[in-house]
Structure formats: structure tokens, C-alpha cells
Amino acid sequence: MHEPARVEQAVEEPVREDRFPHERVVNFCDAVFAIVITLLAIELRLPGGELIERMGADQAWGQTLGLLVSYLISFFVTGLFWVGHMLTWKHVRRVNGKVVWLALLQLFFVVLMPFATRQVSEHFLVYALVLTGISLFSWLVRRTVVQQEDLRARLGPAQARLLLARGLIPLLVFSSAVPLGLFVPGKWAVLVFVLIFPLSTLARRRILAGGD
């Protein structure tokens, strides 16, 4: 008499895996990005009289200009990662432990951005490694979301490939800057970052032109 109830209970038993509230994970990530992008501006300050007297006006203002350029680059690079974060997480319906830990590993490198920004001129390799770490785990999160959310079926194969390609291009560009930074001054090596935009446009055209 009670057999159907037991069968129904067995069918409705949840899958044994960690589940997390989507909103809390997204809000936490957004908060980290917001704090990091704010901290980037902490190093910005006009040269004081003591610095000018010690270094000379030209060198002191040159250092300030270098910090400003580093800030602008890091601001837009961090913004690029945040946009990619939103493009990925808008498709997430199930947040499990794998996605959470990959996101945390991405944030591990994101919070190093203020530190890495101070190293652009003298230690560009550090900057490039931090950007490579962010883009690596950003792409791993995206690949995991495409698989577990079955985005090839939900969005179509072309849109799913485009989503993966848009995450892979920054990884390729930033990782290529690592060996480049060993031979080229940082102020010139950062120019390779510009390749992200034409490569992304080219990938979009080729993938969408190919269709499903």
C-alpha cells in the first residue's frame, strides 16, 4: 500500500553533490572585482616636493605618468575579465563545487592585480603571469559551464564555440606575453594586449559565418 510512496521518494532523492546559491556566488565575485578595480587607483598620486627634489621634475613626473598608464591598462584589462565573467555566469543555472572552486582560483589571481600593476615597468613578467592565471581559470570556468549547462543544445553549437573562443583568446594573448616580457621592455610588451580585440572580432566572424 505504501510502495508507490517509497518509489516516489527514491526518484526525488537529490543528486549527491554540493550546490551553492547562484546569487551569493555571483555577488561575491562582483564584489571582489569591484574592490580590486578600486584598489588599482591607490598608487596614483601627484609627485610631492620631496620627490621632485630627489629625482628631478622630469623623472618624478615621468614616474607618475608611468603609474597612470599602468592604471589605465589594468583598469580596462580587469574590466575585460569582469565582462567575460558576466557573459559566462548569465548561463549558469546550477552552481556546484567544481564551478565555485574554479571561480575562487580565478579570483586568487584577480586580487593580485593591484600588486602586479606596480610591477609592469620593472617586472613585466609578474604582470603577464598574473593575467595568464586569471585568463586560464576564467576559461576553465567557461568550459565547465558550457559542458554542464549543455550550452551547445541551449544556444546552438556556433554560439557555444564563440563563447569558448572569446575566453580562449585572452589566455593565448596573455600567455604569449610571458616569454615576450623576457626580451622586450614592459612598456612595449603590453602592446600585444591589443591583439585581443581584432582576434575576437575575427573569431566571431568565422564562427558565426560557419553557422551550426
Whole-number pLDDT of residue 9: 43
Q: d(Cα 49, Cα 58) in Å, to the nearest integer?
A: 13
pLDDT digits (tens, 9 = 90+) for 71-92: 888 999 999 999 999 999 999 9
- Give residue 6's pLDDT band: very low, low, confident or very high (50, 70, 90): very low
Mean pLDDT of 39-46: 76
d(C-alpha 39, C-alpha 186), whole Å: 21
pLDDT at 159 over 90: yes
Separation CA 204–CA 212 (nearest Å): 13
Which amino acid would we find at residue 168? Answer: L
What local confidence, expressed as pLDDT, does residue 208 receive?
Answer: 87
Cα separation, 71 vs 129, in Å, equals 17
Spatial distance between the Cα atoms of 146 and 139, rounded to a whole number of angstroms = 10
Helix, strand or coil, per DSSP, at residue 176: helix
What distance in Å separates the CA atoms of residue 118 and residue 43, rounded to the nearest whole number?
A: 8
Give backbone dihedrals phi and psi of 153, rounded to 5 degrees, phi first.
Answer: -85, -40
Give pLDDT tens digits for 104-150.
Answer: 999 999 999 999 988 777 788 899 999 999 999 999 999 999 999 99
Cα angle 181, 120, 172 (rounded to 5 degrees) comes to 50
pTM: 0.82
CB atoms within 10 A of CB 23: 9
Q: What is the 8-class DSSP label of residue 96?
A: B
Task: Give the residue, 209 or 185, on which the prediction is more confident.
Answer: 209
Please state, rounded to an integer, the average pLDDT across all residues of the chain: 83
